[in-house]
Amino acid sequence: MTDATALPGQPRGAVVSGPATARAVNVLAPNPSAMTLDGTNTWIVAEPDSDLAVVIDPGPLDDVHLRAVIDAVEHAGRRVGLTLLTHGHPDHAEGAGRFAELTGTKVRALDAALRLGDEGLGAGDVITTGGLELRVVPTPGHTADSLSFHLPADRAVLTGDTILGRGTTVVAHPDGRLGDYLDSLRRLRSLTVDDGVHTVLPGHGPVLEDAQGAVEFYLAHRAHRLAQVETAVEAGHRTPSDVVAAVYADVDRSLWPAAELSVRAQLEYLTEHGLIQG
């Protein structure tokens, strides 16, 4: 979901397919919408001198897109060695099974139901396909199974839907939880402070060159929305839909169903922390 709020210093224009860093190339899926922005970013990641590539989030079940990803890999003189998923939402993962069939690769994900092969993904795992170093970073909150991938050599992090290139993301209650999401944002902030990460390669929207600024924006935005929800409840708006109407009045109504998921997560968080009565 997006609140149609641009991140500081970032463009509001469309994403284009092509190189983003020395090791990461984007192939944009043809599934634009209010929820997916310009479409899903399918990332191809590889060491410059390797003949193997890792594909992150094949995207929707669209043979034209999946074959375009394979063509991009082969055009670079490589073949797909592994497929990874940031999370299980269909716009990221629905095409994974077909992509695995086309490429003969395994699919690794946190959720066992999404895997093809014996290996999952978890905190501390490091992907080394083709000499690559790609570190798994748990970032639950948008969904329970959300992961990010730290690419140290490019000082970049692939964030799926945890941080978008434009606007803000939905905390998809009940699977997504606000407390988890805030912890994940702080975890990503530590990558920018302690590990020198400066580039966000998001699941939707443009690449962000100020990773720390993006994380700080997200944390500030969440704190602001949480305060707004608390104020709305104190003013007598008791149901999630009433709170959405009060807090998200400036947001396109087509996004209100998604906003209600975030509001439910915020209400749960406020109740758990004793800030409002359940």
**189 domain-assigned:** yes
**257 domain-assigned:** no
The position carrying tokens 């077909």 is 98
Tell me the per-residue pLDDT of 136-152, one tens digit each, with 9 for 90 and over: 999 999 999 999 999 99
* CATH code of the domain containing 144: 3.60.15.10
Other C-beta atoms closer than 10 Å to the C-beta of 212 total 16
**244 domain-assigned:** no
Tell me the per-residue pLDDT of 26-42, one tens digit each, with 9 for 90 and over: 999 999 998 999 999 99
**202 domain-assigned:** yes
Buried b (16+ CB within 10 A) or exposed e, 122-133: eeebebebbebe
Looking at the structure of the chain, the number of domains it has is: 1
**45 domain-assigned:** yes
CA max distance for the chain: 62
**246 domain-assigned:** no
Distance of CA 192 to the CA centre of its chain: 17
User: Position 227: which residue type?
Assistant: A
Helix H, strand E, coil C: the string for 259-277 is HHHHHHHHHHHHHHCCCCC
Given this model, what pLDDT does residue 1 score?
A: 42
The pLDDT mean for the chain works out to 93
57 and 99 in contact (C-beta within 8 Å)?
A: no
Given this model, what pLDDT does residue 14 score?
A: 60
Instruction: Quote the domain boundaries for residue 82.
Output: 18-210
**What would you report as the CA-atom Rg of the chain, rounded to the nearest whole angstrom?**
19
Provide mean pLDDT across the span 48-60.
Answer: 98
Per-residue pLDDT at 221 exceeds 90: yes
21 exposed, middle or buried (CB, 10 Å; 0-12, 13-18, 19+)? middle
Given this model, what pLDDT does residue 278 score?
A: 61
Rounded percentage of the chain residues whose pLDDT exceeds 90 = 88
Per-residue pLDDT at 4 exceeds 50: no
**238 domain-assigned:** no
Q: Strand 156-160's sheet: what is its strand order?
A: 126-127, 134-138, 147-151, 156-160, 199-202
Given this model, what pLDDT does residue 275 score?
A: 81
**215 domain-assigned:** no
Res. 118 pLDDT band, cuts 50 70 90:
confident
